[in-house]
């Protein structure tokens, strides 16, 4: 099943989440929060978000959130879509001592190479990213892998479309990533285990056949 929700116009990003921001008496040098993803313990208040359990996605204008789940309601994939661009999200358990993106990225790169895909590392806003051209039935597709290490979690994003080669084209999708909130929970989990995601309450009203929504592709390697 697929749940899909699109925010039309008037969406707010975490950098402008405060209701009093329009107050003419507010100081012009007010400190705005740094971009996320945020741990739930540090997330800015006053932001409308779609609660998927371990991930809370900020409402951003014209970004559609597509959540694919199996018949039992277990979420298998979360994809954000804006125009011809897409951002697939995953969140995983990590140890207290260190981040895991460096080793995960190397494993993804090796897997891509084994599949005959060209991949290169580049430096982006969040550090080292991985850009690749992956063979598909319709020819080669550009992908951009981004990893963000947090306290006992790691977020992995996979950009498709023009956003895979030009970060500036990601626009609202980048705003979603910067406003993302991770709720890791306190349970002990194996390193790299996907953190549990759930369908939102309104899913029952908007579920439609999976064939109506193409899933964002990515190589078989998982974190």
Is residue 126 situated within a structural domain?
yes
Instruction: Show the domain range for 117.
Output: 38-189
**Residue 9 φ/ψ region, left for φ over 0, alpha for ψ in the -120 to 50 degree band, beta for the rest:** left
Is residue 215 situated within a structural domain?
no
Is residue 54 situated within a structural domain?
yes
Count the domains in the chain. 1
Domain harbouring 118, CATH code = 3.40.1000
pLDDT tens, residue by residue, 107-128: 999 999 998 888 999 999 999 9
Looking at residue 212, its pLDDT comes to 41
Q: What share of the chain is helix, strand, coil (3-state, %, to 5)?
A: 20, 35, 45
Average pLDDT, the chain: 82
Model pTM? 0.79
Is residue 59 situated within a structural domain?
yes
Is residue 26 situated within a structural domain?
no
pLDDT tens, residue by residue, 34-61: 889 999 999 999 999 999 999 999 999 9
Is residue 100 situated within a structural domain?
yes
């Amino acid at each position: 099943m697929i749940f899909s929700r699109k925010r039309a116009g008037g969406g707010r990003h975490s950098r402008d989440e405060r209701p009093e921001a329009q107050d003419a008496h507010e100081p012009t040098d007010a400190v705005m929060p740094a971009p996320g993803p945020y741990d739930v313990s540090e997330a800015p208040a006053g932001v409308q978000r779609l609660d998927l359990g371990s991930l809370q996605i900020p409402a951003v204008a014209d970004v559609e959130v597509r959540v694919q789940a199996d018949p039992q309601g277990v979420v298998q994939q979360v994809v954000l879509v804006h125009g011809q661009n897409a951002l697939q999200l995953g969140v995983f358990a990590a140890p207290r001592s260190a981040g895991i993106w460096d080793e995960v990225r190397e494993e993804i790169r090796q897997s891509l190479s084994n599949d005959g895909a060209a991949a290169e590392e580049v430096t982006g806003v969040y550090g080292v990213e991985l850009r690749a051209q992956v063979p598909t039935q319709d020819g080669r597709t550009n992908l951009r892998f981004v990893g963000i290490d947090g306290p006992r979690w790691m977020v992995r994003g996979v950009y498709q479309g023009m956003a895979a080669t030009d970060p500036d084209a990601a626009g609202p999708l980048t705003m979603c990533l910067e406003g993302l909130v991770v709720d890791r929970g306190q349970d002990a989990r194996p390193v790299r285990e996907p953190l549990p995601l759930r369908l939102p309450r309104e899913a029952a009203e908007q579920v439609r056949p999976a064939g109506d929504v193409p899933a964002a592709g990515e190589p078989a390697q998982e974190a």
